[in-house]
């Protein structure tokens, strides 16, 4: 299930971000991390291809997110997924 502002919210270091947001223009610096109320790290990224909600993805050093069918460490946690070129918050798949 994708997060919404009523289910999962940022707790640090940036408060008040919408972890379900997506945009064609950046709202934050790529790779900006936040920790959320679900205990997981979320990282701001840019989709290099269309990604569906729930897809696992890998995040490159430049902040580019691409699909990865393995356990890449992050997933797309945005309602409706994201189109290529959109900016979004990806969620670490584990609490560690």
Which tens digits make up the pLDDT trace of 70-86?
A: 666 899 989 999 999 99
Q: What residues contact 94, with CB distance under 8 A and at least 6 apart?
A: 40, 73
Cα 6 to Cα 16, 73, 74, distances in angstroms: 12, 24, 21
Domain boundaries, the chain: 10-92
Q: What number of other Cβ atoms are within 10 A of residue 66's Cβ?
A: 16
Report pLDDT digits (tens) over 27-39.
988 999 998 888 8
Please report the pLDDT score of residue 88 as a whole number: 96
State pTM to two decimals. Answer: 0.83
Q: Greater confidence, 61 or 14?
A: 61
Q: What residues contact 51, with CB distance under 8 A and at least 6 apart?
A: 57, 65, 67, 76, 81, 82
């Amino acid at each position: 299930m994708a997060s919404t502002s009523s289910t999962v919210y940022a707790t640090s270091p940036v408060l008040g971000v919408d972890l379900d947001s997506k945009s064609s223009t950046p709202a934050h610096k790529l790779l900006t991390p936040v920790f959320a109320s679900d205990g997981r790290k979320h990282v701001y990224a840019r989709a290099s291809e269309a990604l569906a909600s729930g897809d696992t993805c890998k995040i490159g050093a430049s902040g580019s997110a691409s699909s990865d069918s393995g356990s890449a460490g992050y997933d797309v946690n945005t309602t409706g997924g994201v189109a290529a070129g959109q900016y979004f918050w990806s969620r670490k798949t584990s609490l560690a």
